[in-house]
Structure 1
């Protein structure tokens, strides 16, 4: 699998490289995906087949949080839209960028905290 080509950063939120399991649904369509990176406002995912631009999606994913007693998880649900896509030539799958358009405030805070923790660990 190749890494998506670098693009000029236009985002207000920082992305972290992470491979999270994602569930993506649209009307009667559902698929599993993996993130390549994630931010407070969206994610780049590797999906089995193409999803058209501007398709509105429902997404769900689990964030792992480390604690002294072990790892706990938090499921995040959001609505989003496909804002970028390209073909992954190495795997014959598609890369899609999802912009989160609707996310509960508590889920947004958990996602923000997860991103901050990942950034702090990288320093």
Structure 2
């Protein structure tokens, strides 16, 4: 067997991040010091809810994240440079650690993630939009 398991990869990624609590992330985003990026798929956002729109969260699904945040790419978002502060958020804080580490590998040295993900954000009573009501047919 070769390579490392996902738990080892996650531990390695987190060792390179200065991860943030939900409240610390909220303070940075609210002050304009950071961009909050929700990488959850649409179905999960519809079921679980989203960060309140007034905080300006960006929704960029995981499969295109690096292309939108690599300043060397044509598909980069306006305003992205190597010094930008990005806080990546997934549902529970696992995928976001791997994604934030991938951004750091691209040269965005201030990229990090939210400990506990959206579940922690909501659990701390921070601003959220209500989840969509999914109708059964």
TM-score range, shorter chain: under 0.3
| Bigger helix share | 2
TM-score, normalised on structure 1? 0.25
Structure showing greater radius of gyration is 2
